[in-house]
Amino acid sequence: MKVIKSRHITLTNENAKICVPITGKNRQEIFAQAQAAARMKPDLIEWRADYFDGVSEEKESGAFMRRAEPVLEGLKKILPSVPMIFTLRTKEEGGTVSLPDEAYREICIAAARAAREYPIDFIDVEAMRTENAQELIGEIHDAGCLVIGSNHHFQRTPETSEMVEILKAIEKTGADIAKLAVMPLEKEDVTALMEASASADECLNIPLITMSMSELGAITRVCTKRTGSVITFAAGVDASAPGQESVEIVRRALAYHMNCRLHGNIALIGFMGTGKTTVSKALSRITGFREVDVDQSIVTSEGMSINDIFDRKGEQGFRDIETEMLRTLAQEQGQIISCGGGAVLRDENVKILRETGTIVLLTATPETIFERVRDHTHRPILNQDMSLSHVKKLLEDRQPRYQEVADFKVSVDSNDRVQTCVEILKNLQEQGKITLLS
């Protein structure tokens, strides 16, 4: 376990703390956001001072601090003893200021010195961008603050090995925590960030804060025991980066994260395109429960695609294989079974799933579904007629059956997989199907 103590907080990679960013442009906005944040009871706040009007024009740190002091005074009153990260995020790394290195450096040091009077525990330093990062970090340390050495990639996700190297390079600058934020373009990028983070957590001596941004990467913000992150950022009044969930959702997800026991299995059912595979993978990442995909297992065991099985054996042939597969998979317990959209049309299949677990229905409007499936070609049932009216008709036919066999249902129209997972886990907990370990 990694532990790092600052003046007001102890951080560990076993139990990430929640940080809410404050992004107001002026005192009024900053204090309004702080008041809202106070109600959310965050563990830390981050003052994104780059949003503060006029920072870019600041000629010297003295002038900045004269304007910043009343802000810090107010934040201290509104959020007494909530430790703060002071951040000047530059345009190059997704923020709003363009500052010459010297001004950037001076303001960071002045903020660190202000920590004598205000609960500023950490200064964020863009470790890969700033020349002489090492020197700057040394001066911040002398002023009594810890440093989060950060690096951001808003356009893409670097290769796994490159991300590990970046985190190692940040450690070399003398930072106390290494932070890396990347933008995923496809789901493999999210896995890459999680892998890079886990392996960097093993080989670095300092703790990490890592995240894959946007809704696609949001899962990384609540899988902190996998990434080793000691802090996770959650949206206050505004999000300061894409993919930040609300504090409440993050808090709940973290409570479930690698911390629950599953009784029996969870079977995810629902129409094609409701996201059973996506949600099942996300649930598995949060909880650590094993995840199996019925269609994928069929493709592997038959050695051909679902389209080919339909072509060669017809729908009945596919359904027989599906029943056999469900019977095999249901012999194991403690797993999430992601079912094909037609699986529960057979009574026999419902019986198999019921006997071994809880059936959870994912629902979505026909419009949401159509948007998600319209460019796909791997579903023989839709291939014949890829139209909204066909989706509507099929959904109407199947919906009563789905509703009848499900133990409970959750809508996925929010398009937010973390929120969907939290809702499923909450329901499972209420029904006694999962229990929290601590």
Residues that bind ligand S3P (CB under 6 A): 272, 276, 295, 306, 340-342, 379-381
DSSP 245: P
State which residue, 179 or 379, has the beta carbon closest to ligand S3P.
Answer: 379
Burial label for 265, CB within 10 Å (0-12, 13-18, 19+), is buried
Q: Decide whether 119 or 273 has the Cβ nearer to ligand S3P.
A: 273
Cβ-based neighbours of 53, under 8 Å, separated by 6 or more: 25, 26
Residues 6+ apart with CB under 8 A from 358: 264, 265, 266, 267, 407, 408, 428, 431, 433
Report the C-alpha gap between 49 and 95 in whole angstroms. Answer: 10
Q: Which of 313, 323, 417 is nearest to 364 (CA)?
A: 417
Q: Rounded to the nearest whole angstrom, what is the least distance from the CB of residue 438 to ligand S3P in the complex?
A: 35
CB of 184 to ligand S3P, least distance (A): 22
- Verify whether residue 152 is a known catalytic residue: yes
Distance between CA atoms of residues 256 and 344, nearest Å: 28
For residue 187, indicate whether it is catalytic: no
Cβ at position 317, least distance to ligand S3P in Å: 12
CB of 312 to ligand S3P, least distance (A): 14
Rg (CA), the chain: 25
The smaller minimum CB distance to ligand S3P, of residues 18 and 306, is found at 306
Tokens of 175: 């930072």
Q: Among residues 313 and 426, whose Cβ is nearest to ligand S3P? A: 313
Nearer to ligand S3P, 217 or 342 (CB): 342
Catalytic residue among 179, 225, 257, 433: 179
Nearest residue to ligand S3P, scored by beta-carbon proximity:
340
C-alpha to C-alpha distance for 103 and 111, rounded to whole angstroms: 12
Q: CB 402 → ligand S3P: shortest distance, Å?
A: 11
Distance in Å, CB of 381 to ligand S3P, minimum: 5
Indicate the residue among 121 and 295 with the shorter CB distance to ligand S3P: 295
Contact present, 339 and 248 (Cβ < 8 Å):
no
Catalytic residue among 17, 152, 225, 433: 152
Q: Within 13 Å of residue 196, how many CA atoms lie on the same side as its CB?
A: 28
Class of residue 110 by CB neighbours under 10 A (exposed 0-12, middle 13-18, buried 19+): middle
How far apart CA 346 and CA 243 sit, in angstroms, is: 39
**What amino acid occupies position 75?**
L
Active site residues: 152, 179
